[in-house]
Each structure stands twice: as C-alpha cells, then as structure tokens.
A and B are shown apart, each in its own frame.
Chain A
Amino acid sequence: MMLQMTLRRIWVGVATMFVVSVIVFIMTSILPGDVAQIVLGQSATPETLAALRAELGLDMPAYLRYLEWLGDMLTGDLGTSKAGGAAISDLIGGRFGNTMVLAGLVAGISIPISILLGLWAAMHPGSWLDRTVTFGTLATISVPEFFVATLMVLILAVNLQWLPSTALLRDEMTFFELLGGLAMPIITLVIVVSAQMIRMTRAGILNVMNSPYIEMAILKGIPRGRIILRHALFNAIGPIVNVIALNLAYLVSGVVIVETIFSYPGLAKLMIDGVQTRDLPLVQACAMIFCGAYVILILIADIGSIVSNPRLRHPK
C-alpha cells in the first residue's frame, strides 16, 4: 500500500520536474538580453555578438534549444555552461556537496531544538515560558537574514575575532575545522529556520489538543505529559513534518543571502548567477536538483501526514 503510494509519488515527482523545466524555460526566455549580451557586457558590438551567438548555438530557435537540452538531460548529460564554457557537472559537483553539508548541519542542529522548544511551549500554553518562546521566535523570524548575518559578523568576527567572517573552505579540513569555518552561516541559518519550526510545532500540538479525543483523554485523567507525547505529538506530526520539509527545501535552494554574505559556494547562489548570466543549461540543472530535493522532502512529509491521519490512507 505504502509502496504503491510511493511509486505514484515518484511518478508525480517526475511530472513536477518536467513542469519545472518548462516553467524555467519560459521564464528565462522572457528575460531581457541573452547570454552573449551578458558575457560581452558593455563591450558588445553587433559583430562580436553575432559571432558569439553562433559559437554558442544561440541562433537556434529557443524551443529547439530546450528540446536539445531535454534530450541531453534524459541521457544524463547536463551540458556545458553557456557563459563560461565549463562542464555543468563540474560547476555543480563541489557546490552540491557544500550545500548538502550546510543544510545537513543546520538541520541536525535546528530540528531537535525546534521540536523540543515547540513541545515545551505547547505543554505550558499561556505561561511566561510560552510567551518568551513565542516572542523570541517572532523577533528572530521578523528581522531580515542579512541584518542578522551582518550583525554577527561584526560582533563575532570583526570585534571579537572568534570566528572567520567568511566561509572560505579548504580541501583538507577536519570535521571540527569545517564546523568552525561554517559556524557563522550555521548560526545564522539555525536562527532563521528554527523560529518557524518552533511555532508550527507549538501550533500543531495545541491544535490537536483541542480535538474531542484528547478532551476525552483529559477527562479520563491521563497525565498531561503522556497525552502530549503519546497522542498529541503523534497526531500533530503531519503539519510538523510538513514545515520541516519546507524548511529543508529552503536550506537547499533558498539560502542565497547567507551564501552571498559568507561567500559560501553553494547551489542557491549558483542558480542566481545562472539567471543573471542567462545561462539556461545551468539554471535548468540547478532547478532539477532543487525540484528533486523538494519532491523527496515532500514525499517524506506526505508519508508523515498519512501515518498520522489514518483516514488519509483510504481516500474515497
């Protein structure tokens, strides 16, 4: 049953990736200028533009270029960057690892913290503790990332000189060196993503606490802690897993500001660079990775919500 659903989901995922590639194609083709114009910039002349367009195959109609890309993609060839000429698999290779390392470290720290704080707050709704958590998460969530990041660089790197201001990586680094080198982006991102997860955990559990069966449990005199851990948490897992999945997807694809400020070579910045240079194969490759990650995460989230709501297992 679960397997059947998973298979169906994978098919849906492939469909989503196709839709993404079409959307990306359409969007990048409405952008002003093409890769030749961007690469030559202020120095472009009609002759050099024409020569470069011919060299890059930009004189082909757009839909043909898309089909060519699609064909290559299906055979596992990501192509070469139009802007720089490097193989896209080379451009992406190291950055994919970087992105996964950062996302993994941030997730490993923020998810346990968030669920614990969320649970804690939900166990004592309306208390001072709850209010502090609520207020604290709202405060951190509502300040722009670049403000948090810059403030931390000024304090921790420039004034106190405790941590490096940028995440400049070297090839051979031990795990702890890596952790030290990445401390700033990790702290920034943990602050940014935890707030929402804490709030959703708290809200999700409080929401379940209002259901009749919990009321029944309370009336039966089951201890509060046990109600939350055994009944409420299990039933609230759907929305919690959902928000975790969305935040993980954000950590993979959306951390462009953190990557920029800390000069961390990850995928999010690469895609923005790709858009800014109109480098379609590069943008498409990033889009496929992001979409793939999203599809997998959402699949996990959906399995979570199905597990927590038995009715969804037998849709009518």
Chain B
Amino acid sequence: MKDKVSPECKSDELNFFDLSPSDKCLVEKTIQGGFSRRDVLKLMMVTGVSLVTAQNLLFTGQQALAAMPKKGGSVRMAANLHGPDDQLDPPRFTSTIDYVRGRAVYNSLVQHNNDLTTRGELAETIEPNADASEWTLKLRKGVVFHDGTPFTADDVIYSMNRHMGDDSTSVVKSVLASIQEWKKVNSHEVKCVLNTSNSDLPTLLGLYQTKIVKNGTTGDGIGTGPFVLDSFEPGVKSVHSRNENYWREGANLDLIEITAITDPVARVNALIAGDVQLINQVAPSAFRQIEEADNVTLLSTPAAVQLGICVLKNAEPGMNDDFVKGLQYIQDRERVVKRILKGKGTVANDTPISIAHGPDFCSELPQREFDPDKAKFHFEKSGYSSAELYVAPVASGIEEVCLLAQANCAKIGFDLQLKKVPTDGYWGAVWMREPINVVTWNMRPTAQSQMAIQFGPGAEWNDTYWNNERMGVLLQAVLSEIDPAKRHEMMCEMQTLIHNGSGMVIPAFTNINDGIAANIMGMPTVPLGALGALEWPEFIWLS
C-alpha cells in the first residue's frame, strides 16, 4: 500500500499508514466528516502535531481512503451443501459451511497467508526447539471470548486435547497424531510436545478444525472470532454480527449471513441476481455465465485439488501394473483441462503435487501424455478388456473426467463401465473399498503432508493401498532436511515413485472456483479451500 503514497511524502515523517488503527479512524472520520481543511489542520495542531505533519497526514489519508477498507454493509454467502448435520463444534467440521462459520466465530492458533506461509493468530509466537520436536507457543494477551471470559492457556489445552485420546471423534485426529502432549507453562504460554520432529507443525495448527473454543464447551458458538453468533439454524442459515471487542482491528462488515443453495445452477443464478454475494463450487459450465455478468467476479484460485481415480493395488485389477498404466495413458489431460475445466485447472502427472506447492513440485518428472496406442498396449498386456469404475460427484469435473476416459477407452476397444453412486455414503461404502473409484483431496499446505496423508505406507487414508517402504523413509527424512537442493531431490524421488508405482491416476488439478460480487474488496486467496480458505469474513469490505 505504501507504493501508492506520493513522493512528496518523506519517509521519516509521520504519515497516515504509521498511525495506530484508532488514530487512522480519527483522521478518516475527520476527512469524511465534512470539516473544512482549515478546521482539520487547526484541530490537529491543537492536539500537538506540527503543520507539516498535519498536512502530510491529511494528504496521505485522502490518498489511502480509496483503498482503505470501508466499514459497514452486510453480505450473504451461499455454500454448496448444508443440512441437519451443520456444526459449530470445530472437531466435527466437515463441510465448507461449517468451516466458514468456524472462521467467523472462532480463531486458530495459526493463520495461513495467501502464499501458504503462516502467521500467528491467537499464538503470538511459535518457536521450535533444535530438532523441531517441541514447540513453545506464546499466546496473545487481552483476548476475550464473546461472553467476556478472557482467553488463556487452559482454553488452548482443552481445545487441542479434543483431537487426541481414544474417545476423540475429531475428524483430524490422525492428521494431528504426531502431537503427543500439550503442556501448560503459564497462563499465556503452552508447549506442544511431538513424538517425532516436525518442522511443519504450524500448518497443522491452522486447520479448519483446530479452532479454539472456550474451556469446557463443545461448540456453542462462543469464540474469540471477528463475528458474534446471532442465530444458527442447522440446514437453514446462521447470522453473525461484528464482534466490537475483537482483539484485532476487527471485521469491516456489520453483518454476515451464511446459508447454502445446494443446486449448482440456482446458486450461480442467485449470485448474478444479487441475492447472495459469495458462492463456492462454481461448475465449469457456469464460468462463462459469471464472466459475462458485470456485477460478479469469477474467483479462480490455482490449487492442487486433484481429480483422482484410485485403483486399489491390493485387489484385481489394480494389482496388475499394466492395467494402471493403461488407465493412465488413456487420460486426455490437455483436453480435461481445456474442455472440462475450461482452462481453470492444470495438467497433472499422476502425482498429488502441483506447481501450487512451490519449489517442492518436481518439474523434472516427464509429463505422461495421452497415448491411446500405449494404453491399448498396456490394457492388452494386462489381460483385462473391461473394468468397472465407481463414480460419485465428489468434486466438480470428476464425473466428466470419467466420461471422457470411458469414451476414449471405447475407441481402443476397452470397456470402461461407469457405476454412478450417490455422494452420501460414498466415503464409507465405496472409497478405499471398490477396486476402482474416484477421489478428491483438498490441497494440503505442504507437499510432504500431501503425500504423507495419501501415500504414506500404512497411512490411514492410503487410498490405493500402495505401501512403499522407500516412500516411508523419504517422507520422514525430508522433514528434517534443511538443504534446499537435497530436499528437492527427495521430493522428486517421492513424486517419481508415486508416478511410476502407485495406483493413482490423476489427470488434472482443478482450480478452486468461486463467485463473488464485484464490489467485494480485499478478498483473501489462500489456496487451501473455497473462497480463500474461508478467511474472508474478517477481511473483506464492500466498495
């Protein structure tokens, strides 16, 4: 923002941006309040600032006002799913609508930036010991819950312990399995003891589910977050108003309403008609509709959201490497990206790591191309002439990917039958059970965690049952490797192993595609989930 300040403004002089939030507010109000310039300057000099400074303040203040967050207004967000299982209890959050409510009402210890680095949220600092097996977190002071209770270390220990233990029903229990214990040091300092070294711990403390609730409560909507819960009806809507006692500058919007419109066509229509201001999960067939309307923006965030086909390696036909190869070569990746995803995606190389993961992406690995002849060769060698693929619409575009594969298989004489099943019950009854099925994963913040979750030998969600010892060794070793070149080498070796050996067919990554009203400013773009990983409630404003 400083770039916008005119050159007349010398850096050693106090200017608008150096003011505290309350002073900024004062200047803003003064400028907006219709006082004459002379009145304002007089007023300022009375309060003890020099004329130069006062003039400077006024100038930069006016300059910045255009880009300054404006207070006030309300928005309505329509998610893609909701129902009677809507939650305010963070460990049980499973859907976008839960996540956004959690983001509005609660805070995490750590927050993700747009570039996937982290910053402290309720934790002011997070310091590892030498081998990153024990972390010390200094907690922010002066933070209060919505009911006025001060926030302390006890709340952190209580909230984080809910993800551990035998009776924990937290959905991220296994993700946080490396945490052995939380120790209270004093009222505003805790220690996190790990059972192995993990330099990526901070990213784990910024998950949707690791929100801090008040000690002893199970999600009654009382948090420390930027919005206070006014009303909540599961499967209908929730209404939140700004938390006036927030520990940061606080939200710009007065009110947000969070609901869902489950029909994709109706959701887009509601956005364009102006009835809602933010929607997630825009289907590719609606891109043009949003792009052509002038009151809305298509927010397409590149991310490593895989459209995957899992071929189980512990069952027929996935045990046969040639079958997997055949299915990989029949993927017309360019066409998936261009025609199915309408360009809002990237070609994938049968690994879960994309360019969005930054330097850990192995660009050296040769791209597997669409090659019907090779596919035919491998299918014939495998001895299979037909297979059954279970499809559920778990991600937008996945069904179309399978239809394209089916059509291309038919052209080389392979009969790929699709079995479409409902999404409900899919994860329990089909995924990791039927020999060939589809999967999608939200992008994880690091390449290591992305691969560990899905390809770690014996990992809970190793969804192709491909257990490779070398993979396990590398996954552990890379965590303590600090030399960037060596680290990249290890990352590349892992991606090559997955590319060549696993049962995973990943033709493409889809962008995260959301739609927002064009007057929404300051939209975060964290690529870890829909709508800037739902970081928006605190930060957006309406122009």
Do A and B contact each other directly (Cβ–Cβ < 8 Å)? yes
A interface, CB within 8 angstroms of B? 31-34, 37-45, 47-48, 51-52, 54-55, 81, 83-86, 90-91, 94-95, 146, 149-150, 153-154, 157-158, 161, 164-166, 168, 260-263, 265, 269-270, 273-279, 282
In whole Å, how far is A84's beta carbon from the nearest beta carbon of chain B? 4
Contact of B84 among A41, A83, A154 (CB under 8 A): A83
Asked, given contacts A33-B429, A84-B234, A273-B84, whether A161 binds B270 with beta carbons under 8 Å apart, the answer is: no
On whether the beta carbons of B273 and A164 are closer than 8 Å, the reply is yes
In whole Å, how far is B271's beta carbon from the nearest beta carbon of chain A? 9
B161-169, B349-357, B522-530: which lies at the interface = B161-169
On whether the beta carbons of B169 and A51 are closer than 8 Å, the reply is yes
On whether the beta carbons of A91 and B235 are closer than 8 Å, the reply is yes
| 7 pairs of residues in contact across A and B, judged by CB atoms under 8 Å | A32-B429, A37-B425, A37-B427, A81-B85, A94-B233, A154-B269, A261-B265
Say if the beta carbon of B367 comes within 8 Å of chain A.
no
In whole Å, how far is B189's beta carbon from the nearest beta carbon of chain A? 30
B86-94, B403-411, B506-514: which lies at the interface = B86-94
Which residues B255-278 have CB closer than 8 A to chain A? Answer: 259-263, 265-266, 269-270, 272-276
A84-B85, A157-B269 known; 16 new pairs, CB 8 Å cut-off, are A38-B424, A38-B425, A39-B85, A41-B428, A43-B94, A43-B172, A81-B84, A149-B266, A161-B273, A166-B261, A166-B275, A260-B266, A261-B263, A265-B235, A273-B83, A277-B84
On whether the beta carbons of A168 and B87 are closer than 8 Å, the reply is no
On whether the beta carbons of B262 and A260 are closer than 8 Å, the reply is yes
Contact of A37 among B76, B428, B460 (CB under 8 A): B428
Say if the beta carbon of B431 comes within 8 Å of chain A.
yes
In whole Å, how far is B276's beta carbon from the nearest beta carbon of chain A? 8
On whether the beta carbons of B275 and A164 are closer than 8 Å, the reply is yes
On whether the beta carbons of A263 and B78 are closer than 8 Å, the reply is yes
Say if the beta carbon of B196 comes within 8 Å of chain A.
no
On whether the beta carbons of B425 and A31 are closer than 8 Å, the reply is yes
On whether the beta carbons of B273 and A277 are closer than 8 Å, the reply is no
| Cβ contacts under 8 Å, B87 to chain A | 84
Which residues B78-128 have CB closer than 8 A to chain A? Answer: 78, 83-87, 89, 92, 94
| Cβ contacts under 8 Å, A86 to chain B | 84, 234
In whole Å, how far is B439's beta carbon from the nearest beta carbon of chain A? 8
A-B pairs, top 3 by smallest CB distance, nearest first, are A37-B428, A83-B85, A43-B171
Smallest CB gap from A150: residue in B:
B265
Query: Complex formed: what's the CA distance from A38 to B81 in Å?
Result: 14
| Cβ contacts under 8 Å, B233 to chain A | 90-91, 94, 265
Smallest CB gap from A272: residue in B:
B83
| Cβ contacts under 8 Å, A41 to chain B | 94, 171, 427-428
Most chain B CB neighbours (cut-off 10 Å) among A41, A55, A154, A260: A41
Asked, given contacts A47-B166, A166-B270, whether A263 binds B422 with beta carbons under 8 Å apart, the answer is: no
Query: Complex formed: what's the CA distance from A61 to B270 in Å?
Result: 45
Say if the beta carbon of B236 comes within 8 Å of chain A.
yes
| Cβ contacts under 8 Å, B172 to chain A | 43
Most chain B CB neighbours (cut-off 10 Å) among A86, A166, A260, A270: A166
On whether the beta carbons of B270 and A263 are closer than 8 Å, the reply is yes
Asked, given contacts A51-B167, A166-B261, whether A273 binds B235 with beta carbons under 8 Å apart, the answer is: yes
What does the 1/0 interface line of B420-439 toward A look like (CB < 8 Å)?
A: 00101101110100000000
Smallest CB gap from A156: residue in B:
B273
| Cβ contacts under 8 Å, B78 to chain A | 166, 263
Query: Complex formed: what's the CA distance from A113 to B422 in Å?
Result: 39
Query: Complex formed: what's the CA distance from A37 to B428 in Å?
Result: 6
Query: Complex formed: what's the CA distance from A51 to B236 in Å?
Result: 28
Interface of A is mostly: helix
| Cβ contacts under 8 Å, A55 to chain B | 167, 169
Which residues B227-271 have CB closer than 8 A to chain A? Answer: 233-237, 259-263, 265-266, 269-270
Say if the beta carbon of B187 comes within 8 Å of chain A.
no
Say if the beta carbon of B480 comes within 8 Å of chain A.
no
Say if the beta carbon of B174 comes within 8 Å of chain A.
yes
| Cβ contacts under 8 Å, A277 to chain B | 83-85, 424
| Cβ contacts under 8 Å, B152 to chain A | none
What does the 1/0 interface line of B448-474 toward A look like (CB < 8 Å)?
A: 000000000000110000000000000
Which residues B146-199 have CB closer than 8 A to chain A? Answer: 166-174
| Cβ contacts under 8 Å, B422 to chain A | 276
| Cβ contacts under 8 Å, B261 to chain A | 166, 263
What does the 1/0 interface line of B271-294 toward A look like (CB < 8 Å)?
A: 011111000000000000000000
Query: Complex formed: what's the CA distance from A85 to B220 in Å?
Result: 12
Query: Complex formed: what's the CA distance from A41 to B263 in Å?
Result: 21
Asked, given contacts A40-B94, A168-B275, A265-B235, whether A32 binds B428 with beta carbons under 8 Å apart, the answer is: yes
Query: Complex formed: what's the CA distance from A161 to B169 in Å?
Result: 46
Asked, given contacts A32-B425, A51-B166, whether A279 binds B269 with beta carbons under 8 Å apart, the answer is: no
Contact of B461 among A38, A42, A263 (CB under 8 A): A42
Contact of A166 among B84, B92, B173, B266 (CB under 8 A): B266
Asked, given contacts A44-B428, A47-B166, A150-B265, whether A157 binds B273 with beta carbons under 8 Å apart, the answer is: yes
On whether the beta carbons of A48 and B171 are closer than 8 Å, the reply is yes
Query: Complex formed: what's the CA distance from A274 to B78 in Å?
Result: 20
In whole Å, how far is B309's beta carbon from the nearest beta carbon of chain A? 16
Asked, given contacts A38-B425, A86-B234, A165-B269, whether A276 binds B275 with beta carbons under 8 Å apart, the answer is: no
Asked, given contacts A38-B424, A51-B167, A91-B235, whether A153 binds B266 with beta carbons under 8 Å apart, the answer is: yes
On whether the beta carbons of A150 and B460 are closer than 8 Å, the reply is no
In whole Å, how far is B296's beta carbon from the nearest beta carbon of chain A? 11
Contact of B266 among A32, A84, A165 (CB under 8 A): A165
Smallest CB gap from A273: residue in B:
B83
| Cβ contacts under 8 Å, A51 to chain B | 166-169
On whether the beta carbons of B275 and A165 are closer than 8 Å, the reply is yes
| Cβ contacts under 8 Å, B427 to chain A | 37, 40-42, 44
| Cβ contacts under 8 Å, A52 to chain B | 169
Query: Complex formed: what's the CA distance from A81 to B273 in Å?
Result: 34
